[in-house]
Amino acid sequence: MNIVKEKIENVQAVVDAMREGPVVLPTDTLYALSAPIRYRTLFEEVYRLKGKSMESASPIGFYGLRDMEKYCVMDEGSRNIVRNLMPGPLTIILEARVTGHWVVNGKIAARIPDRLFVREVIRRVGPITLVGANIRGYRSSTNLEEILRQFGENVKLYVRAENMEGKPSSIYDYTSGRMLREGDITLGQIREAQNGSR
């Protein structure tokens, strides 16, 4: 087990560690359990470590809009939301353009985290899981020590953040127009952004 600071010079250490298993990364909200989605065994390991099955769209981190468009069905409204509110603490559920083990019920939960370190990791390895770094039955945390107690040696690399917001992202299901969880970004802001008026 290794702990590194959230510094750009440590990005390659994260990229290397991700070839072996999931790592714990700080996002713009909470810590996440992350692995490149293209490796099925690593993707499934994320959920094994959490002790839960993937019952809804898995939160996936993308570098930017162009990457999202490769994986998700997008129209002008969804592009407006991304352009106006991302990177930021928002997860938007979209119809999947592709099939894969990361797709549930034909949907993908897309994020563009507002954290340079994480986006640089994504730039190098491609889309990654951004699943809350907690075992089923435990709350997500901004305290790395709590996360270390949960996962211990089962996760080989942890990245310690300089600061964390501590509030989960808003989750908006674009396919149904419903807000599933409201965080710092409100439904009103999403609708304004969707109409291109933000």
pLDDT in tens, the chain (198 residues): 899 999 999 999 999 999 999 999 999 999 999 999 999 999 999 999 988 776 677 899 999 999 999 999 999 999 999 999 999 999 999 999 999 988 988 999 999 999 999 999 999 999 999 999 998 888 888 889 999 999 999 999 999 997 787 788 999 999 999 999 999 999 999 999 999 865
Number of structural domains, the chain? 1
User: Cα dist. 124→62, 128, 130 in Å?
Assistant: 11, 11, 16
Q: What is the CATH number of the domain that holds 46?
A: 3.90.870.10
- Coil, helix or strand at residue 75: coil
- Six-digit token string for 67: 């990457």
Cβ–Cβ under 8 Å, residues 187 and 172? yes
CA distance 106 to 95: 6
Q: Residue 21 belongs to what domain range? A: 2-194
- Strand ranges (E), 74-183: 90-95, 107-111, 128-129, 131-132, 157-160, 170-173, 178-181
Does residue 126 come out as left (phi exceeding 0), alpha (psi in the -120 to 50 range) or beta? left
